[in-house]
Chain A
Amino acid sequence: MSALTLELRQPLPGRVDLSGLRPDRLAGLGAGAIERLALPCGRTPVALGELFRVRPGDPAELRILGGDPRLDGVAAGLDGGRVLVEGDVGWYAGEGLRGGVLEIRGSSGPFTGSAMAGGEIRVHGDAGERPGAPRAGERRGMTGGVLHVAGNAGARAGERMRRGLLLVDGDAGECCAARIIAGTVAVLGRAGALAGTGMRRGTLLLGTPAQGLPPTFNATGAWRPGFLELLIPVLARHQPAWAERLRGDPLQRWVGDLATDGRGELFAPD
C-alpha cells in the first residue's frame, strides 16, 4: 500500500497545528473523514481538506508535500511508522517522539524533537533554536532516540538532554548541550560560545577545535577513549564525515561544567 499523502493546496492562513495527525489516529479513516478533521489554526479551526489535497494510503507511511514554516507540531508524539515532509516545518516538529522516523526534507523551526524519547528525526536543512530541548517551563529534554540535523542548529541545541544522540552536521548556536544531564551531542561544524554550559554528565563531541568554552571547564589533556571506537560507526552511519574527522588521533578533552556536577566531558580535535 502506498503512502497516505497530504499535499498543501495553498499558503497557510496562519499557524496550523498538526500535532494530532498521527498514523495511529489516522488508521481506519477514509479520505473523506481525514479531509473533515479539524486542524487548530489561530482561533478558528480549519478542515484539513481545505488546506491539503488528500491521497489515501497507508497512514503508517505519511507524506506531507509542500511544507511551510508555519506548520507546527508535525509528527508530535509519533510512536511508530514514518512521516516524510517535502518542505519546511514550523515549531515542535517531532515533539515527544517515541518511535518511528520523521524525515524533514527542508528546515525546521524551534523545539524540533523537543523532549523526544525514542525513534529518529532527520532534518535535511537547518533546525531552529533548542532542538531536543524541553518546552518553556518543562524540565525534560531528549531522553532517547536520534535527532540528526544535517544543516545548522540554533542556540541551546540538546538542552537538558538525559539520553540519546543529537547530531549536528553544520554549526550549532551558542550554549549547545547546555545543562545536559547525560547523553551524547556531536557537532561536526563549529559550536557557538559556552558549549556545554551547566552540563552535569554526558559527552559533547566537536568536529572542530573548541572555542569559547565556559570558564568552568578544565582541560584534561589529549586522549583517545575506547568507547569512541564504538561510537564513531554510529555517528558515521548518520554522517560519514565523522569517521574521517575523528580518525586515529587523540582528542583534546575537557571536563565540566564544574559549576555543577562536573562529570560531563567535551572532546575536540586540536
Chain B
Amino acid sequence: MHLNGVEIEDTFAEAFGMQATRVIITAISARWARTAAETMTGFATSVIGCGVEAGIEAELAPAQTPDGRPGVSVLLFAMSGDDLAKHLERRAGQCVLTCPTTALFAGMEAGPEGGKPVPLGQRLRFFGDGHQASKLIDGRRYWRIPVMDGEFLCAELSARVKAVGGGNFLVLATGVEAALAACEAAVTAMRRLPNVVLPFPGGVVRSGSKVGSKYKALPASTNDAYCPTLRGLVESRLAPEIRAVLEIVVNGLTDADVRGALRAGIGAACAGGPESGVRRISAGNYGGRLGQFHYPLREVLA
C-alpha cells in the first residue's frame, strides 16, 4: 500500500491500556496558564522514567473554562490508578500550586457515567496549614488554599478513565531534515484533535526502543533495527537510502481517538510524497504479545 506515493508497511502499532485524567488549568492570562501546563507536563515522556505521560491537549478560551479565564487542558496517563493519583498530586502541587494566578479544575466527571474519582485538591489543601477552606458549589467541592498572590482554587477531585497509551508510527526518510519536517506536520495535525496528547519533546521521539537489553537492569534499549548507523552490524530494517527515522507516540482516551490521531498524523507526514524525502511509514510493536491495542497501519488508513 502507498499513501501519496509513500510506502505504508504492512505492520501494526502496539499500544497499552492506561489510566488517564484530564485537568484544566486557568490563569490570569493564556501565557501563565500555558506556563503552568508546560511545567506540569514537562518530564512526562514515558512511564518508564517519569511515572506518568502527559501533554497539553488544547488551549481553552475564557468561555470554555469553569472560571471564565484563559486556560489549558492537560491529559495525564499512568499505568495504574494509584500511579496516576500519585503523580497527578505531585505535579499539581509542584507545578500548578506554585505558578502565579493559576486555578486547577477537573476536566472529567466522576460518577456512574464518568470515571472513578482521583484526588486533586483533596490532600493539596493541607498546604494551607489550617487556613484552607472548602466551598461546595453546584455539588462540587473546591479547596481554597491561601497563597501569597491570593488563593489557589483547586477542585477536590478529578476523574480517571481507562485509556490507551503508546500508539505510534515511524517516519523513515532520506535525511533527518525530511523526517523532522514530516513529523512536525504530523504533530500539528494530531494536536488539533481532542482527547489525545503527544508526550515526547515536540511530539517527536528519536530514541525509539525495543523491549529488553543486553544489560540486565534495562527494560528497554535502542531500537537497533531502525538505527541507520547500525546498518551492516545488526539485522537492519532500513533500505540503503534511509538515513533517519523518527517516531511519533500518541496517547488517547479511547481506541478511536488513537486511531483517528494516527490517521491524521500519517496523512500529514506523507502529504509531501516521496519527493519530500519520506519513503516509508512503519510502526513499533512487540510482536503483539504485550499490548492490548493493535493498530495495523493499512487498516487505520483504509
Contacts and interface: CB of A to CB of B under 8 A. Distances in A.
Interface of A: 163, 182, 184, 201, 203, 223, 225-227, 229-231, 234, 263, 265
A223 B134 CA distance: 18
A163 B150 contact: no
A263 B137 contact: no
Size bracket of the B interface: 10 to 19
Max chain B C-beta neighbours (<10 A), residue from A163, A229, A230, A231? A230
Max chain B C-beta neighbours (<10 A), residue from A203, A227, A234, A263? A227
Given A225-B144, A225-B150, A231-B135, 5 more contacts: A182-B134, A223-B150, A225-B151, A226-B153, A227-B151
21 contacts: A163-B136, A184-B135, A203-B135, A225-B144, A226-B67, A226-B144, A226-B150, A226-B151, A226-B153, A227-B142, A227-B144, A227-B151, A229-B67, A229-B69, A230-B67, A230-B135, A230-B142, A234-B137, A234-B138, A263-B133, A265-B133
Contacts of A223: 150
Counting from the closest, the 10 A-B pairs by CB-CB distance are: A226-B153, A229-B67, A230-B137, A227-B135, A226-B103, A229-B68, A227-B153, A231-B137, A225-B151, A234-B138
B66 interface: yes
A200 B144 CA distance: 16
Interface string B172-200: 00000000000000000000000000000
Contacts of A182: 134
Nearest to B135: A227
Contacts of B151: 225-227
Contacts of A263: 131, 133
Contacts of B67: 226, 229-230
A64 to B, nearest CB: 29
Contacts of B68: 229
A198 B194 CA distance: 50
Nearest to B142: A227
A163 B138 CA distance: 12
A264 to B, nearest CB: 9
Interface string B113-141: 00000000000000000010111111000
A7 to B, nearest CB: 36
Nearest to A184: B135
Contacts of B136: 163
Contacts of B66: 229-230
Contacts of B69: 229
A229 B136 CA distance: 13
A225 B133 CA distance: 12
Interface in B248-285: none
Given A226-B67, A226-B103, A201 B133 contact: yes
Contacts of B150: 223, 225-226
A182 B141 CA distance: 13
Contacts of B134: 182
Nearest to B68: A229
Interface string B61-86: 00000111100000000000000000
Contacts of B153: 225-227
Max chain B C-beta neighbours (<10 A), residue from A163, A229, A231? A229
Contacts of A225: 144, 150-151, 153
A265 B132 CA distance: 13
A85 B134 CA distance: 35
Contacts of A203: 135
A234 B134 CA distance: 16
A169 B159 CA distance: 36
